[in-house]
Amino acid sequence: MNVDLAGDPAADWFAKDEIVAVVFARTDGELASREGPNRYSAGDALITGSTGDRWSVSRARFEARYLPVAPLRAGEDGGYRSRPIPVRAKQMAASFAVARSAGGDLLHGAARDWLLQYAPGDFGIVEEARFRKVYRPLPTA
């Protein structure tokens, strides 16, 4: 699927508001998410969301997107809160697939799941029930 939500009138701005449990990977590996495989490298964040969903985030991206919940210090395993970073999102009417990034893992969404675009060529998929629980709409300009 080749898509860019930046110019899609059906896409809106949202921000995640969630505390997640994080373990930093000790070795390279892969975890299975509802949307598909998530390959990771040693040092990447292995995340369990408040709804039980699991996914991985590269260490560089993680530090830009999450803050440790006190008294935890950055880089330690434990609870982290998502930063309120704006993301474009669109609810999809039919099942779909998209690469997380160029050459990245292929993710699969069901009808009514949400396609998220963090940056050009940088995507995620969130199940409808989870999206409604942890994402908040942002005011339009």
Q: What is the C-alpha end-to-end distance of the chain, expressed in Å?
A: 28
Q: In this predicted model, what pLDDT tens digit does every residue of 34-59 receive, in sequence order? A: 888 889 999 999 999 999 999 999 99
Q: In this predicted model, what pLDDT tens digit does every residue of 1-23 receive, in sequence order? A: 678 899 899 999 999 999 999 99
In one letter, which amino acid is 12?
Answer: D
**How many beta carbons lie within 10 A of that of residue 124, not counting itself?**
19
Residue 60: left if φ>0, alpha if ψ -120 to 50, beta else—which one? alpha
Q: Is the pLDDT of residue 102 over 80?
A: no
Rounded-to-integer distance, Cα 70 and Cα 131, Å: 26
> Which uninterrupted H or E stretch holds 116?
strand 114-119
In one letter, which amino acid is 74?
Answer: A
Q: In the predicted model, what is the mean pLDDT of residues 99-125?
A: 88
